[in-house]
């Protein structure tokens, strides 16, 4: 069960969560539909390179990163998507592409889209393509301390 590290961390911090099992899905739209989660509440984790350094950008699954806004918000000269080959070693306990938005567990900075902060609850991949975890945004913020930025136009 790949989600053990994350569950242990949340249990240690006494954070309430719900684990949601669903049929295998890979795109955020498939995951939201399969798990019956509104797209705006499903947080997708995108690994980017900010001036060559990997970081997480967490945003609603129904949105896409605006790289110009991301560059401006982070003060970076260059922002580009990291390839799975470049980041898979950073998440040895996760299936490729199913990493949770807890950069603090993987020595990675976390940036969260302003839009996501509007949700009371967020759901995200729990290290596999068959499980989601749902927690309060308030708990996520307290545990991860992400930098809130504008990375989507609306």
**More reliable by pLDDT, 40 or 6:** 6
Counted domains in the chain: 1
pLDDT at 87 (0 to 100): 94
Across the range 44-49, mean pLDDT stands at 95
pLDDT tens, position by position, 62-80: 889 999 999 999 999 999 9
pLDDT at 70 (0 to 100): 96
pLDDT at 2 (0 to 100): 58
Residue 100, domain CATH: 3.90.960.10
**Does a structural domain hold residue 154?**
no
**Does a structural domain hold residue 140?**
yes
**Does a structural domain hold residue 42?**
yes
**Does a structural domain hold residue 76?**
yes
The per-residue pLDDT of the chain, averaged, comes to 90
Are 106 and 58 a contacting pair, CB within 8 Å?
A: no
Distances (CA, A) of 88 to 14, 41, 54, 79, 99: 29, 25, 12, 19, 9
Query: Which residue range forms the structural domain that includes residue 83?
Result: 4-149
Are 118 and 41 a contacting pair, CB within 8 Å?
A: no
pLDDT at 1 (0 to 100): 46
pLDDT at 141 (0 to 100): 97
Beta strands in the chain (DSSP E): 18-21, 42-50, 53-60, 79-81, 109-113, 121-128, 131-136, 147-149
pLDDT at 26 (0 to 100): 73
């Amino acid at each position: 069960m790949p989600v053990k590290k994350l569950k242990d961390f949340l249990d240690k911090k006494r954070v309430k969560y719900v684990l949601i099992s669903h049929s295998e899905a890979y795109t955020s739209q498939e995951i939201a539909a399969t798990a019956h989660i509104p797209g705006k509440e499903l947080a997708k984790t995108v690994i980017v390179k900010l001036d060559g350094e990997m970081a997480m950008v967490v945003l609603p699954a129904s949105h896409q990163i605006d790289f110009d806004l991301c560059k401006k918000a982070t003060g970076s000269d260059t922002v580009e998507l990291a390839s799975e080959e470049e980041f898979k070693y950073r998440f040895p306990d996760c299936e490729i592409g199913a990493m949770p938005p807890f950069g603090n567990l993987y020595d990675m900075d976390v940036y969260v889209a302003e839009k996501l902060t509007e949700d009371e609850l967020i759901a995200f991949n729990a290290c596999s393509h068959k499980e989601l975890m749902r927690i309060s945004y308030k708990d996520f913020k307290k545990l991860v301390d992400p930098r809130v930025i504008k990375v989507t136009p609306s």
